[in-house]
Chain A
Amino acid sequence: MKILDRNSVDLFFDALKRQGFALVGPTIPDSAIVYDEIGSSADLPVGWTDEQDGGTYRLKKRDDEALFGYVVGPQSWKKFLHPPSLRLWTAHREGKGFKIIPEQDDPPKLAYIGVRSCELHAIAIQDKVFIGGPFLDSSYGLRRENVFIVAVNCGQAGGTCFCVSMKTGPKATAGFDLALTEIIEPGRHYFTVETGTGRGEEVLRDLPYTEATEADPATVERIVEKTVSQMGRTLDTTDIKNLLYQNLEHPRWDQVATRCLSCANCTMVCPTCFCSTVEDVTDLSGEHAERWRKWDSCFTSDFSFVHGGTVRPSVKSRYRQWMTHKLATWIDQFGTSGCVGCGRCITWCPVAIDITEEVRAIRETKK
């Protein structure tokens, strides 16, 4: 473990840039902390935090100058690894047929600054989905290959967080190049740095770090323990697959359907949801065509449209599909849960539907 002073953070960012990485990280364009391009530590949400609960999110001033003193925002790293819309190829008419021109996909090398533990797990889950099986998603693979991950251990939990229940946090244990813990004491603002890879070590090499003292790992543990004690939500995952499979006709699904808007916000903000649709577009001349991939959601009626109609016409069937996929069928499909407990679907649901509450309600009155 090494120690990096707050004042060296920009040197650290410069070192990453010298290695050819563009930086993306938390920043505040208006009313929420989102992930976007950043130049220096001044672009981070310095001195800001977020207050979250079901259906509500507010930025608040902190009484210190913390760089990472917030939880997670509406966006996840999915927006870089699995872009919301992506052109897959273009085509031109040629004689009686057409010629396909493959997309020149050359994503930039990005360093992700401030990846949380639940997000590392979400990335690992999407790795499985996109590049872990026999069929590789080349656009995801290309983007993933280029990423340098700077994780940050959460110094506080949000009102909708439940990573402890899902065993995905709050401490980053794997999947990073470097992992930071931010420590603010009277008169001192610094970071402990753990290295996860050789690349990480290399970036550190030229920085003015010091070796950690014996007290530092204990300080990190204390911070993590405090975060654990602050989890806003809990979800009991005991035998969850069978719980849901045996309660597919539970009356709770009807109740949640009276509230659910089938707006799809929950799936859009979820860092593991991977569904997309494909659109073929042509221009007016009819000489050019393009194929685009766009995020889709099991909450739309088109999602399950097959010849003759929609398989899930009711909101009830869509909510049930979503929740059982996240918590049960995902396990059959990929060997892990599809939920990392980040709480985004709870915060960003306009009517505050809460996945942990829905599971609890079914568990308490199960068949």
Chain B
Amino acid sequence: MGKRRKPKLAVWKFASCDGCQLSLLNCVDELPALAERVEIAHFLEASSAVMKGPYDLSLVEGSITTPRDLERILQVRRVSKFLVTIGACATAGGIQALRNFKDVKEFVSIVYARPDYIETLETSTPIADHVPVDFELHGCPIDKRQLLEVIGAFLIGRRPNVPSHSVCIECKLKGTVCVMVAHGTPCLGPVTHAGCGAICPSYHRGCYGCFGPKETPNTASLSREWSRLGASEQEILNVFRGVNANAEAFRKESDLHARRND
């Protein structure tokens, strides 16, 4: 890279809470080093100064929930060489994807005084449903170390070290005692994508899946174990209908429990 121009970094927001963008701002110690290596060209959360595209690396936060989003994501894709989605909203649809299980028109009519002012889609969907995505970084919010890892890997042109195995492996690498086995606390870790560093089990809580499904998630077997530990059908439904409710494996599992609850 040496003498070449600095790669341009852009951060984009769709339907989201801004928490994942904040993870980038939270990298206080690393921001100077980052600014050395990249031109922060478009990051409205941090600065209203905007440089023109195209951009070498685009970080996309948020899900697609409006007709305007649908147009804007195509535009973002067009001006981005490498597009990374960050967070549960961008990778799965976020908590706002709970609308996918209900009738949006009904919400709109109840919530807003002037429903006719509201223009929204029936569903909240991940970015990858609409444009090709080069890498997905999971989490709600994303983990800042992982974000730096992805950016660092991009800069040097290598694959990021972001394993898609269970949270359980993170527990075991840390030496955290399993809350399922030693306390009987239901935990979603065995079907959840690693990345957080097993925060909840380290505080004697069960994982609730904010990094979404891991590779080959056996949600059916884990649900049976949750029931055995005393979780109700409603509790099982609720845990799969969290911020990653629209991720395929979690959606299918929650649909099963929704039917059983009916």
Contacts and interface: CB of A to CB of B under 8 A. Distances in A.
Given A56-B181, A258-B220, A280 B158 contact: yes
A56 B184 contact: yes
Contact of A261 (B163, B179, B190): B190
Contacts, number: 137
A300 B167 CA distance: 12
Dominant SS among interface residues on chain A:
loop
Interface string A275-317: 0000111111110000000110101111000000000011100
B166 A264 contact: yes
A31 B182 contact: yes
A101 to B, nearest CB: 18
Contacts of A32: 177, 182
Contacts of B178: 74, 265, 348, 350
A262 B165 CA distance: 9
Given A32-B177, A286-B1, A350-B180, A263 B190 contact: yes
A8 interface: no
A261 B221 contact: yes
A283 to B, nearest CB: 6
B30 interface: yes
A263 B189 contact: yes
Contacts of A122: none
B175 A282 contact: no
Interface string B191-220: 100000000000010000000000111101
A269 B156 CA distance: 35
Contacts of B155: 282, 284, 286
Interface in A231-264: 258-264
Contacts of A262: 166, 216, 218
B36 to A, nearest CB: 7
Contacts of B153: 282
A281 B161 contact: yes
A259 B204 CA distance: 25
B257 interface: no
Contact of A347 (B33, B161, B181, B191): B181
Nearest to B189: A263
Interface string B158-190: 100101111011001111011111111001011
A75 interface: yes
A146 interface: no
Given A263-B190, A350-B187, A302 B148 contact: no
A315 B215 CA distance: 10
Interface string B3-20: 000000000000000000
Contacts of B222: 261, 350-351
A55 B221 CA distance: 13
B225 interface: yes
Contacts of B161: 279-281
Interface residues of B, number: 47
Contact of A268 (B36, B156, B164, B172): B172
A30 interface: yes
Contacts of B168: 263-265, 268, 350
A260 B221 contact: yes
B191 A261 contact: yes
A350 B175 contact: no
Given A284-B34, A315-B218, A57 B181 contact: yes
Contacts of A294: 173
Interface string A148-166: 0000000000000000000
B181 A286 contact: no
Nearest to A85: B173
Interface in A318-367: 347-348, 350-351
Contacts of A263: 166, 168-169, 189-191
A258 B34 contact: no
A297 B170 CA distance: 12
Interface string B83-95: 0000000000000
A220 to B, nearest CB: 31
Given A75-B175, A260-B221, A351-B221, A282 B181 contact: no
B128 interface: no
A79 interface: yes
Contact of B148 (A260, A261, A284): A284
Contacts of B166: 261-264
A60 interface: no
B177 to A, nearest CB: 4
A350 B177 contact: no
Contact of B152 (A31, A58, A258, A283): A283
A284 B172 contact: no
A132 interface: no
29 contacts: A31-B177, A31-B179, A31-B183, A32-B182, A58-B182, A79-B175, A85-B173, A260-B218, A261-B222, A262-B166, A263-B166, A263-B168, A263-B191, A264-B168, A265-B178, A281-B149, A281-B161, A283-B152, A284-B30, A284-B36, A285-B36, A285-B37, A286-B156, A300-B163, A300-B169, A300-B215, A315-B218, A350-B222, A351-B222
Given A58-B182, A282-B156, A295-B169, 13 more contacts: A30-B177, A31-B177, A56-B184, A74-B182, A84-B173, A84-B174, A261-B218, A261-B222, A265-B172, A268-B172, A284-B155, A285-B33, A301-B164
Nearest 3 CB-CB pairings of A with B: A268-B172, A263-B190, A261-B190
